Structures are given as C-alpha cells and as structure tokens.
Structure 1
Amino acid sequence: MDKIEYRTLNDRAYDRIKDGLMAATFRPGQVLVIRNLAETYGVSTTPVREALQRLVAERLLVLLPNRSIAVPELEAAKYAEILRIRCELEGLAAELAAPRIGAAERHALDGIAAEIDAALLAHDHAAYRRLNQAFHFALYQEAGSPRLLQLIQDLWGQTGPYMNELFGEPAYEPRANEGHRAILAALAKGDPAGARAGVVADLTVAAGYLVPHLEALEALEPA
C-alpha cells in the first residue's frame, strides 16, 4: 500500500480509508485501530483520527459504545435498501456515459472484463473485487457528472465491505462477469438504455446471491 504524501494529510487519509471501504479492504464489524492505520499510511495519528471521525459523521463507519470506530456490521435489509438506490444512480451514470464513450474507452473496459474472466477462472476473488470496481468507475467517470459520481462513491463506501461475502454462494462465480459483458454490448451499439439495463442487471444478479447469504448469516447470530 502506498504511503500518503505529507501534503493535505487529513483529506488524503480520508480518501485512502474511504477507498479501502469501497474496495472491501475492511471487513464488516472490523474495529479500525488508529495507530495501525497511521503506520500503514505513513502519517501521524491525528489525520487518521480526524478522517475516521469524518467517516462516522457520513455514516460510513460507526462509533461503538467503548468509543472505538468500526465498519458497520452486515445487515441484509440495509444492503437491499442501498441496492435500490444504486440501481437508479449507477444506471443513470451508465446511460449518461454511453453516448460519450469512444472506441478507446470501450477497448479499455473490454480489457478489464477480460482480466475479470481470468480472475474468476483462478478463483481470485480479491482481484475480482478490484477489477469490478475499476470497470464500474471507468464507466461512470465517462458520465461527465462529478456530483453523481460522488454519490455513487458514497454508496460504494457503505456497501464495499459486504463484497467480502459476495462469493459466499459459489453459484455466483460463473455469472459474475455477465453484466459487464452486457454493458459492453450495449456500449458497442451506442445504446444508453441497454447500458443502464446492463448495470442494473449486474447489481441485481449479485444481490440475488448476496442478500440470501447475508440473511443466512444473520440467522446464525445469537439472539
């Protein structure tokens, strides 16, 4: 993990921790130790503490009764609620991006999709999560809507830790790249509605496996 440069340490610490949430670097329920994070990023504890407090205020992290700061626990209902919002916002981003994307951008996205195929073949789920995020945000970046992109990033920050459980149902793995291929097909045809539908399908198929898995985990928790 790269060290944070000395300039704008508070914002850089915030960005790195939020990126970690989006990328499933942190697990649901994980307590974040300020000193450990400071050592990882090569900074003092102050910018890390302030970044964590900011993320608590934004509800990406939670403050525990003992004053520790942690990643929220898994909640199937919460994930399902955020999913509905993500489908609308990410679908809109894909729809806006479709007419703006040229051959070079489509080629880059196709390359990421090929890497996803290789990661799935190797059962490398960490690589899948990284590449999946890269695919989606390369697409959404082309929407030309920075405020929409910010909203999507915030929602990914809330749901990213859940992605550690995405392959809890093995049947998902063979389908994990279907949505990306559908998006690419729509982009090749210059079909904004098809790009939106591909994103929604990608998110919905994943949730169809993830939500029942989360519910099963919740059922195992002691009352």
Structure 2
Amino acid sequence: MDKLEYRSLNDQTYDRIKEGLMAAAFRPGETLVIRTIAAAFGVSTTPVREALQRLVAERLLVMKPNRSIAVPELELDAYVELLRIRCELEGLAVDLAAQRVDAAGLERLRGLVADIDVAVEAHDHAAYRALNQTFHFALYDEARSPRLVGIIQDLWGQTGPYVSELFVSEQYGPEANREHKRILRALEGRDGADAREGLVADITIASRHILPQLLRMGAARSTRHRRGRRPEKAEHAEGDAAQ
C-alpha cells in the first residue's frame, strides 16, 4: 500500500480503508488491526482508529464483543437486498451517463474495457477486481451526479467483501467483461435504457456466481452452530440424570 501524504489524514485514511472495502482488499470476517494499517499507510494509530470507528457507525464494519473491529461476515439476505438497491441506483447512474458522457469519457471507458480483457485472459483476479471497480466508477462519474455516486460508493463498501468470493466459480471469466462492452456500446449510441439493462445484467451475472458460495457458507455456519450446541445439551441431560 502506498504511503499517505500528510494532509487531511483522518479523511484520507478513511477514504483508503473504504476503498479497500470496495475493492475486496479485506476478507469477510477479517479483523482490522489498527497498528498494521497505520504502518502500511505511514500514519499514527489515531487517524486509523477514528476512520474505523466512523466506518462502524456507517455499518461498513462491525465491532465485536471484545471491541475489535472486523469486516462483516457474508450474509445471504443482506447481499440480496444490496443487489436490489444497486440495480436501481447504478441503473439510474448509467442512464444519466448515456445522456451526459463526452468523447473523453468514452475513450477512457474503451481503454478500461480493453484492460479488463487482458486481466481476464491472464486470470489475474486482483487486476480484474481493481479494473472492474475503476470502470464502474468512471462510468458513474459520467452521470455528473456526485451525491448519487457517493451513495453508490457506500453500497460498494458493503458489497466489496462478497466480490472476494467471485472467482470461486471459474465459469465467471468468460462473462466478466461482456456486459461492460454492451454498456459501452449503449453509451456510444446514447441509449440510456440499454445501458441500464446492461448494468443490471452485469450485476446479476456476478450474483449468480456469488450466491451458491453464500449458500454453502451459510449451510456450513449452521452445521457448526448445531455442533457447538450439542455438548451443552448433553451436559444438561447428564445433570437431569444425576438428579
């Protein structure tokens, strides 16, 4: 991670951690160690601590009973709800972008689509995730609606940890850039409706590869929970027998 310059350290540290959440740099359930992050950013522990507390207040992170701060565990219901909201708001953003994008914006998006093809071909998952995020927010910036983009950033902060599970499915690769190209063509034709449909399809395709993994993880957690309760039941049974 790059060192931070000495300016607005609290806000800049907050931004960097939030960007990490959006880009799936942190794993679901991972505990964030203040001193480790501070050393990586080249700052004291104070701005890191304040940034983490701010992210907890915004529900992008959670505080555990022992007061440590962690990335939320993956939850199926939360993910499905976030998908619905993302489709609506990000769909609105690309619809606006189709009406407002300029030649420079289109050229930037073309370059990013080409770079994503290279990352997918190389099976470079980290590069893909970074480029995918850059593409989406370059796209949303063309909506010229900063408040809308800010809300979308918060949604990505909540869904980022789920993206870390995306390449569990190797079948995703051939589909990873398909809808980006459709969205780009729609923007070139000023077709907001098709751009919106492409965006919703892009989110939906990714979700089809993430949801089975969430179901498996949920089933595994339920099994562990049931096993964890059995000794307690056995202990009560022994106590009843003794009486």
Unaligned runs of 5+ residues in structure 1 are none
Q: Please list the CA deviations of residues 132-155 of structure 1 after superposition, one character each: whole Å capped at 9, or x if unmatched.
A: 001000010011111100000000
User: Relative CO higher for 1 or 2, CA cutoff 8 Å, sep ≥ 6?
Assistant: 1
Query: Aligned partners of 2:42, 2:147: CA distance in 1, in Å?
Result: 30
Query: Aligned partners of 1:184, 1:136: CA distance in 2, in Å?
Result: 11
Equivalent in the alignment of 1:58 = 58
Q: Which residue identity does 1:125 align to in structure 2?
A: H
Equivalent in the alignment of 1:23 = 23
SS at match of 2:43: coil
Kindly state the Cα deviation for residue 202 of structure 1 after the two structures are TM-superposed: 0.3
SS at match of 1:72: coil
Query: Aligned partners of 2:12, 2:185: CA distance in 1, in Å?
Result: 37
Query: Aligned partners of 2:88, 2:17: CA distance in 1, in Å?
Result: 26
Query: Aligned partners of 1:217, 1:25: CA distance in 2, in Å?
Result: 20
Within the alignment, does 1:141 sit opposite 2:141 as a pair?
Answer: yes
Bigger mean CA deviation after superposition, 101-110 or 167-176: 101-110
Identical amino acids, percent of aligned pairs: 65
Q: Which residue identity does 2:211 align to in structure 1?
A: V
Kindly state the Cα deviation for residue 77 of structure 1 after the two structures are TM-superposed: 1.6
SS at match of 1:190: coil
Within the alignment, does 1:219 sit opposite 2:189 as a pair?
Answer: no
Equivalent in the alignment of 1:122 = 122
Equivalent in the alignment of 1:179 = 179
Kindly state the Cα deviation for residue 21 of structure 1 after the two structures are TM-superposed: 0.4
Equivalent in the alignment of 1:32 = 32
Query: Aligned partners of 2:127, 2:61: CA distance in 1, in Å?
Result: 24
Equivalent in the alignment of 2:236 = none
Which has the higher Rg, Structure 1 or Structure 2? 2
Q: Which residue identity does 1:159 align to in structure 2?
A: T
State the TM-score, normalized to the length of structure 1.
Answer: 0.98
Kindly state the Cα deviation for residue 211 of structure 1 after the two structures are TM-superposed: 1.0
Query: Aligned partners of 2:50, 2:28: CA distance in 1, in Å?
Result: 21
Kindly state the Cα deviation for residue 168 of structure 1 after the two structures are TM-superposed: 1.0
Q: After the TM superposition, which residues 143-162 of structure 1 pair with which residues of structure 2 at under 5 Å, given as runs?
A: 143-162=143-162
SS at match of 1:112: helix
Query: Aligned partners of 2:92, 2:134: CA distance in 1, in Å?
Result: 18
Kindly state the Cα deviation for residue 102 of structure 1 after the two structures are TM-superposed: 2.2
Equivalent in the alignment of 2:164 = 164
Q: Which residue identity does 2:168 align to in structure 1?
A: G
Equivalent in the alignment of 1:71 = 71
Aligned length: 223
Bigger mean CA deviation after superposition, 136-145 or 206-215: 206-215
Equivalent in the alignment of 1:4 = 4
Kindly state the Cα deviation for residue 104 of structure 1 after the two structures are TM-superposed: 2.3
